[in-house]
Amino acid sequence: MTGSLKWKRPDVCAVQTKGRFISIDFLLSAPLLLLIFVLPVLSQEWNQIVPQNSPDARYGHGMVQQPDGTVMLVGGKNSAGDYFNDTYTFKNGSWNQIEPESDKPEPRYGHSIVQLSDGRFVLFGGENDEGDLLNDLVTFTDNNYIPEIPANNPPPARRNHASFTHEDYLYIVGGVGATGVMNDLWRYNLHTQTWERLQDCLGPLEGAAVAKHGDKAYVLSYWEVDFYYNIAEDQWTTIPRTVPHPCARKFAAVTQTDQCAYVMSGSGSILNDTWKFDFTTESWMQEMDMPLAVTKSAAAIYGNQVIVFGGLKEDSSTSGETFLYSPPGTGIDNEEVFPITFDLYQNYPNPFNPVTTIFYTLSANTSVSVNIYDMNGKLVKSPVDHEYQQSGHYSLNINASELCSGLYIYCLQTPYAMSAKKMLIEK
C-alpha cells in the first residue's frame, strides 16, 4: 500500500504525526501484524542497512546509477592494501556481485565512473595493484567491459580525478599524476574516439566533488569558494560565497538529481556532514549528518534516496557499511525505496495493570518512534522518540500508571513504515 495518508475522514478520530493524519479506524482495520507502506518523505533520515551479499569493505571505488535504477559499484581498495576489480549491483535492497562475460578491467582504486546517455557507464584511470597510474578508458554494457581505443594520445595517467559527461563527450579534470596534483581538463569524443585538451582549471584538484547541470560543471566545496566550468564557453568562473557554506574538503561523496547535488563526508579532518547544493540558486543548505565519519566513500541516487557505501574511517580502517539517506524535498521522483521492515508483536500481558511489555524486531538499523494514543487520537505517551536503533529484537517496558482504564493504540514507526496494535488497561 502506498500513499501520503494526508486525509482525514469526517467524524473519525485520527492521530497526527508530522502533519499527517492517520485515522484510528484505519489503524484498527489494517493488518496489525505487519503494516508496511512507503512514505514519500516524512523527514530527513540516515539509516544504516545490512543487505545481503555486501561488497568487501573498501575505499576509492566508484558508484553510478543505471537507467533502470540499479546502482553499480566497481573497484576500490582496502586498508590492508588489497585492490578490487569486482562489480556489484544494488537493487531491491540487496547487493549482488555480477560476473561479466568479458575480461574485467585490472584492479584499481581512485578511478572515475560516470553514466552515458546511451545507457553505458564509462570508467577512466585510477591506480592499479602494482602502484601504476592508469589512463585507460573502459565502457560497460550488456554485462561486458569493452576497452576504448582512442585515435590519439590520451591524457596523462592519474588517480583521484573527477569526471562528468555532456552530450557525446566525457570530461576528465584534475587528479594526481606522475608529476603531482594536476589542473588539466580533457574531453573525449565518444564518436570519433579522440581526446582534446581544454582550458585548465583555476587550480590543481585532487579528490574534488564535481556535479554537472546544464552547461555548467560545478566544483563543490573544494576550496572556500565554489566555481564552475562553462562548457559552451570553455571558461572557468567562481561563484560568490553564500552562507551557510560547507568547509573545504577533498574526497567527498557526491551525487546529484536534476535539481541539486548532495555532498557528504570527505576529508580535511574526517567529516560526516551532509550538504545540498541547489543548481538554480547556486546556494547551500546543510542537512542531517551521516551516522559515520568517512572519506573516499562513494554515493549514487537510489530510488528516492541517496545510497553511500564504504570509505576510510577516522581510525584508518575501511568501512563496509551501506547507508541510505532520505532527504526532505529531494526532487527525486522515482518511488522505489528499500523497505526497512519490522515486526510489531502483541504486548504482554494484555489486558494489564499498570505494567506491560511491547516487543518488536527491526530488520535493519533505523530511526524508531513508539507512540501510544487514546481512542480520541491524542498522544498520551512516547516511550521511544526518534531513537536510532540497531537491527535486532527489542522489549519495551511500559508503565501506564498515569493512564485511565480503556483501549489504547500503540504505534511503531520508522521513516518508511508504521505498524499499530491495540492494548487494554484494566484498573
The CATH code of the domain that includes 125 is 2.120.10.80
CA pair distance 275, 172, nearest whole angstrom: 24
- Strand 162-166 and strand 169-177: the pairing is antiparallel
Which run of H or of E encompasses 29? Answer: helix 24-29
CA-based max dimension of the chain: 86
Domain end position, chosen among 180, 213, 247: 247
pLDDT of residue 31: 40
Same domain (yes/no): 347, 421 = yes
Residue 306 lies in a domain: no
pLDDT of residue 222: 94
CA pair distance 337, 416, nearest whole angstrom: 9
pLDDT of residue 209: 97
Same domain (yes/no): 49, 18 = no
pLDDT of residue 416: 62
Beta bridge partners of residue 15, listed in sequence order: 22
> Using alpha carbons only, how large is the chain's radius of gyration in Å?
25
Residue 351, helix vs strand vs coil: coil
Same domain (yes/no): 223, 103 = yes
pLDDT of residue 35: 37
HSE at residue 292, side-chain half, CA atoms within 13 A, is 26
Q: Tell me, yes or no, if the pTM score tops 0.85.
A: no
CA pair distance 187, 196, nearest whole angstrom: 5
DSSP 66-115: -TTS-EEEEEEE-TTS-EEEEEEEEETTEEEEE--SSPPPPPEES-EEEE
Domain end position, chosen among 247, 278, 305: 247
Q: How far is CA 312 from its chain centroid?
A: 16
Q: How far is CA 395 from its chain centroid?
A: 30
Same domain (yes/no): 242, 370 = no
In which residue ranges of the chain is pLDDT below 70? Answer: 1-44, 329-341, 415-416
Residue 298 lies in a domain: no
Identify which of 39, 121, 146 has the alpha carbon closest to the alpha carbon of residue 298.
121
How many structural domains are present in the chain?
2
pLDDT of residue 343: 87
CA pair distance 257, 262, nearest whole angstrom: 8
pLDDT of residue 17: 39
Please name the amino acid found at residue 407.
Answer: L
Same domain (yes/no): 18, 102 = no
**Alpha helices (runs of H) in 243-358, residue ranges in sequence order:** none
The parent domain of residue 182 ranges over 45-247
Place of cell 541539486: 260
Same domain (yes/no): 21, 108 = no
pLDDT of residue 41: 35
Q: For 27, phi and psi rounded to 5 degrees?
A: -65, -40
pLDDT of residue 44: 60
pLDDT of residue 335: 42
